[in-house]
A and B are shown apart, each in its own frame.
Chain A
Amino acid sequence: MFRHLLKYSFKVYFYNKANIMWNFIFPFMFISVFFLALGNFKDPTAEFSKDPLKIAIIATDQQEAENLVEFLSHFGEEGVLEDTELQDTSSDDIFLKYQLTDTENADQLLTDQTVHAIVKADNPVEILAYNDLSKVKSSLLNQFLESYESVRKTTTAIGDRYADEKFSDLESFGISQLSEQDFNAIMEQAKMDIQAKHDQTIDIFAKESETTELTTSPLLIYFFAAIAYIAFFPTNAGVSTLEEVTANQSGVGLRNSVTPISKTKMFFAVFIPRWIIHCIFTLVIYLYVNLLGVNLGDNYIQIIVLLILGTTSAVLTGTAIGALFNFNTSLKVGISIAIPLVFGFASGMMYNGMPRVIAQYIPWFNKLNPIGIVSRGLYMLYSDPTFIRFNQQVIYLLGIIGITLILTIFGLRRNSYESI
Chain B
Amino acid sequence: MKVFKLFLQIINKHKGMAIMYIMIMIMIISIVGGQVAAQNGEFALNEAAVAVIDHEQSEFSAHFKEFLLQGNHQVEVPDDRDVIADKFYDESLDYLVIIPQDFSETFAKDPNSLDLQTNSMLDQQVAVTFENKINNYLNIWNQYRILYDNNIPADKIAGIISEVDQIMMPSVKVASQEKQQSESYKMFSYIISQINYVLIVLGFSIIGYSFLVMESPLIKKRELVSGYPEGKRTKELFLASFTVMFVIWLLLLLIALIFTGFDNLTIKASQFLIVSNFVHLIAITALVLFVCHLYPKKDSSSFLGNMVGLSISFTTGIFITRDFLNQVLLKISSITPTYWDVSNAYHVQSNMLNKIDYGYMLQNMIVMLMMAAVFILLTFVLRRMKLKEGV
> A209 contacts the other chain (Cβ, under 8 Å)?
yes
**Which listed segment binds A: B172-180, B218-226, B234-242, B286-294?**
B172-180
Complex contact B146–A197 (CB within 8 A): yes
- If A47-B324, A138-B350, A218-B123 touch, does A335 touch B20 (CB 8 Å cutoff)? yes
Complex contact B299–A330 (CB within 8 A): yes
**Which listed segment binds B: A91-99, A268-276, A283-291, A344-352?**
A344-352
Determine the interface band of chain A, counting residues with CB < 8 A from chain B: 35 or more
Residues of A contacting B209 in the complex (Cβ-Cβ under 8 angstroms): 330
Identify which of residues 95-116 in chain B touch chain A, using a CB-to-CB cut-off of 8 Å.
111-112, 114, 116
Complex Cα spacing A331 to B11, Å: 12
Complex contact B92–A124 (CB within 8 A): no
Complex contact B324–A135 (CB within 8 A): no
Complex contact A134–B172 (CB within 8 A): no
Residues of B contacting A13 in the complex (Cβ-Cβ under 8 angstroms): none
Identify which of residues 116-160 in chain A touch chain B, using a CB-to-CB cut-off of 8 Å.
124-138, 142, 145-147, 149-150, 153-154, 157-158
Complex contact B174–A217 (CB within 8 A): no
- If A150-B140, A201-B139, A359-B90 touch, does A353 touch B45 (CB 8 Å cutoff)? yes
Q: For residue A379, which residue of chain B has the nearest CB?
A: B122
- If A209-B131, A350-B313 touch, does A215 touch B346 (CB 8 Å cutoff)? no
Complex Cα spacing A380 to B91, Å: 11
Q: Decide if the interface of chain A is mainly helix, strand, loop or mixed.
A: helix
Complex contact A221–B122 (CB within 8 A): yes
Complex Cα spacing A145 to B107, Å: 27
Q: Which of A136, A351, A354, A383 contacts B323 (CB 8 A)?
A: A136
0/1 interface trace, chain B 17-43, chain A, CB 8 Å (1 if under): 100110010011001100100000001
Complex contact A149–B147 (CB within 8 A): no
Complex Cα spacing A149 to B174, Å: 13
> B151 contacts the other chain (Cβ, under 8 Å)?
no
> B315 contacts the other chain (Cβ, under 8 Å)?
yes
Complex Cα spacing A75 to B170, Å: 20
Q: Decide if the interface of chain B is mainly helix, strand, loop or mixed.
A: helix
Q: For residue B178, which residue of chain A has the nearest CB?
A: A127
0/1 interface trace, chain B 272-312, chain A, CB 8 Å (1 if under): 00000000000000000000000001111011001100110
Residues of B contacting A348 in the complex (Cβ-Cβ under 8 angstroms): 91
- For the complex of A and B, the 4 pairs showing the least CB-CB separation, nearest first, are A359-B92, A355-B91, A334-B17, A126-B173
Interface residues of B (CB under 8 A from A): 14, 16-17, 20-21, 24, 27-28, 31-32, 35, 43, 45, 47-49, 73, 85-86, 89-92, 94, 111-112, 114, 116, 118, 120, 122-125, 127, 131, 134-136, 138-140, 142-144, 146-147, 163, 166-168, 170-175, 205, 209, 297-300, 302-303, 306-307, 310-311, 313-315, 319-326, 328-329, 346-347, 349-352, 355
Interface residues of A (CB under 8 A from B): 18, 21-22, 26, 29-30, 33-34, 36-41, 44, 47, 110, 124-138, 142, 145-147, 149-150, 153-154, 157-158, 161-162, 165, 197-198, 200-206, 209, 212, 214-218, 220-221, 236, 327-331, 333-335, 337-338, 341-342, 345, 348, 350-360, 363, 366, 376, 379-380, 382-384, 389
